């Protein structure tokens, strides 16, 4: 089974999810999304696969969230998606893709649903 993790090695949850994947016997494709951010089309596909609006994938504790006033209820999904593509640090992590589905793995045990 092919597994891909959109990973940020500075994030404890992301590191823990990577460990769970490996403990389950898989070596995933690791995308350091801070160095190689997903394109707009890739982000949209991930959101659709998770049945999640862009607002649910934003890191609200990220200082840039407040700086860009992303809590403004008049912002469209398109504007939020554009902000995530331009500033990948705003993307909640980790996102894991497998043949069984796509999940935002918070809490870390969510990854077990798709292994």
Q: How far apart are CA 67 and CA 5, in angstroms?
A: 28
Alpha-carbon Rg of the chain, whole angstroms? 14
Q: Which of 11, 44, 45, 50 is catalytic?
A: 11
Q: Which residues pair with 62 in a beta bridge?
A: none
Question: Exposed, middle or buried, 66 (CB in 10 Å: 0-12/13-18/19+)?
Answer: exposed
Q: What is the b/e burial string over 30-57, where b = at least 16 CB atoms within 10 angstroms of the residue's CB?
A: bbebbeebbeeeebbebbeebebebeeb
Annotation says 11 is catalytic? yes
**Could you list the active site residues?**
11
């Amino acid at each position: 089974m092919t597994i891909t993790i959109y990973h940020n090695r500075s994030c404890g949850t992301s590191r823990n999810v990577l460990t769970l994947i490996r403990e389950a016997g898989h070596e995933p494709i690791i995308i350091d999304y801070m160095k190689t951010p997903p394109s707009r089309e890739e982000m949209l596909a991930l959101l659709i696969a998770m049945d999640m609006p862009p607002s649910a994938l934003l890191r609200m504790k990220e200082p840039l969230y407040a700086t860009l006033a992303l809590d403004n209820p008049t912002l469209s999904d398109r504007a939020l998606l554009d902000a995530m593509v331009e500033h990948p640090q705003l993307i909640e992590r980790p996102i894991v893709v497998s043949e069984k589905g796509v999940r935002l793995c918070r809490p870390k045990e969510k990854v077990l649903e798709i292994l």
